[in-house]
Structure 1
Amino acid sequence: MFKRLKEKWEVESNLQLAIIFLVFSLAGSGALVIRKLVFHWINYSPDWPFLLSALTYVLTIVPAYQLMLIVFGALLGQFSFFWKFEKKLLRRFGIKLND
């Protein structure tokens, strides 16, 4: 399984793969912290309608997670991997960045 990921992601070593996994987990945890702060700031209440709650959640978590991937990736020396990862994701949403 890890060999396949290394080939797909063009990763050289097991250490680099471990760092990438670490970045994904740190970004996820960081995005949840950001969500908590934002929800506190906007006075979120569980009484909000589901659709408003879901929309607020998605609009908070998705950008926070993407930003955290870049930040933690850069801090741990994997900026190029995560920048390529982000560009691929953005292309799926129809957004093209100039290289």
Structure 2
Amino acid sequence: MTWIEKLKSRWGVSAGWQVLVILLVFTCTGFTVMYTKRWMAQWLTIESTWATWMFNILIILPFYQVILLMYGWIFGQFKFFWNFEQKMFRRLMNGFSRKKS
């Protein structure tokens, strides 16, 4: 089984070209966020470690999600990325809502 076949099965897509488009969307999103983050951090003159962490969590993480959906829409895979976002958000919320015994 090739890596494309494994990803098709894992992501529930029917064609190999969809896997390549999804990977392209992740690539474009990563580059966009990386360059934007660098520019924003310089503009805001963030230097301390705690400020960097807060910036990444409060600004960059939501920005990444929006850009991911935007590129997914541009490349015709919005439905996949919308479902991806919902699943990720559910997992994140489940991690915060677990009760400790």
Asked if Structure 1 and Structure 2 have the same fold, meaning a TM-score greater than 0.5 normalized by the shorter chain, the answer is yes
Normalized per residue, which structure has more helix?
2
The residue identity in structure 1 corresponding to 2:64 is Y
TM-score using structure 1 length:
0.81
Residue 67 of structure 1, CA deviation = 1.1
1:88 matches 2:90: no
Contact map agreement 1:38 1:60 (CA 8 A) in 2: no
TM-score using structure 2 length:
0.80
Identify if the C-alpha distance between structure 1 residues 74 and 90 changes in structure 2 by more than 3 Å, giving closer, same or farther: same
Unaligned runs of 5+ in 1: none
Q: 1:70 is paired with a residue of what secondary structure? A: helix
Partner of 2:7: 5
CA–CA distance in structure 1, aligned partners of residues 56 and 86 of structure 2: 23
CA–CA distance in structure 2, aligned partners of residues 60 and 28 of structure 1: 15
CA–CA distance in structure 2, aligned partners of residues 10 and 88 of structure 1: 14
Residue 40 of structure 1, CA deviation = 3.0
Instruction: Give me the CA root mean square deviation.
Output: 1.7
1:31 matches 2:33: yes
Count of residue pairs the alignment pairs up: 92
Question: Among the aligned pairs, what percent are the same residue?
Answer: 32
The residue identity in structure 1 corresponding to 2:19 is L
Asked which structure has the greater RCO (Cα within 8 Å, sep 6+), the reply is: 1
Matches within 5 A, 1:35-54: 35-44=37-46, 48-54=47-53
Task: Provide runs of 4+ in structure 1 moved above 4 Å.
Answer: none
Partner of 1:75: 74
Residue 66 of structure 1, CA deviation = 1.1
Q: 2:14 is paired with a residue of what secondary structure? A: coil
CA–CA distance in structure 2, aligned partners of residues 55 and 35 of structure 1: 13
Unaligned runs of 5+ in 2: 95-101
